[in-house]
Structure 1
Amino acid sequence: MTDDSWVPDTCTLPTTERPLRLAEFDTLFRDALRGVDRPAAGHLRLHLDDDAEPAARDLIARESACCSFFTFDLARPDGGTLRLDIRVPGARVVVLDALALRATAARGR
């Protein structure tokens, strides 16, 4: 999946770096994603392998720096399962839709 037309203009990541960032998300999804939930239109929940925590923290820190509309919460609320909650405001649901699609596509490989 290489189309990044859904990336909003407010993203401050240089255009030339966007395919690399998308590839990083695809790699995280392919290698560590164990489940996907969509509790609400503006909320995506990803269940990840525990050993993915360092890579996930690094990736979401960098993504937060360029797309400030994302809210990321990486935690183990039940004491064991690593969970990444991603939230966006209503005006950015299409971006979350595209990220969810990438996650489910990568997981299906």
Structure 2
Amino acid sequence: MSDNGRFTCALTPEEVASRRETDREAREQFRQLQEHQPRRAVLEFTREAEPAVRTFVRDESQCCSFFGFDVGLNDESTVLEISVPEGGEHMLQGLVEEFTH
């Protein structure tokens, strides 16, 4: 993911490919998109996905600091809320598409 201005991902194309492999476990345990607004999305994963989701959040926060992440747990699911400031809507859309497509 890359963009001009303050919404720029610091990863090289090679690092993006490596990250996708690292994030594979979280993607495989993705259940559904609970909510999607232009600047906020809520994704649901299996309960067992918590460690993989937290690893995803840690790694993604290092290269794309404009994303806001909140991980929550309930009896059956790991829930990831992702937000972006104004202007970052297209970056959120790209990130959501990595899980939903």
TM-score exceeds 0.5: yes
**2:97 is aligned with what amino acid?**
L
- TM-superposed CA distance for 1:99, in Å, is 1.8
Q: Deviations over 1:6-50 (max 9, x none)?
A: 423522223420122234445522x11111033421111110011
Report if the CA contact (8 A) 1:26-1:102 is conserved: no
Residue aligned with 2:66, SS:
coil
**TM-score by structure 2 length?**
0.81
Match of 1:97 in 2: 93
Stretches of structure 2 lacking an aligned partner (at least 5 in a row): none
Instruction: Give the structure with the larger strand fraction.
Output: 2
Size of the alignment, in residue pairs? 97
Residue aligned with 1:68, SS:
coil
In structure 2, distance between residues paired with 1:90 and 1:25: 26
Match of 2:3 in 1: 8
Instruction: Give the structure with the larger helix fraction.
Output: 1
- TM-superposed CA distance for 1:88, in Å, is 0.8
**1:7 is aligned with what amino acid?**
S
Report if the CA contact (8 A) 2:10-2:64 is conserved: yes
**1:50 is aligned with what amino acid?**
R
In structure 1, distance between residues paired with 2:95 and 2:36: 15
Percent identical among aligned pairs is 29
Which of 26, 36, 41 is residue 38 of structure 2 equivalent to? 41
**TM-score by structure 1 length?**
0.76
Stretches of structure 1 lacking an aligned partner (at least 5 in a row): 1-5
Structure 1 range deviating more: 11-20 or 50-59: 11-20
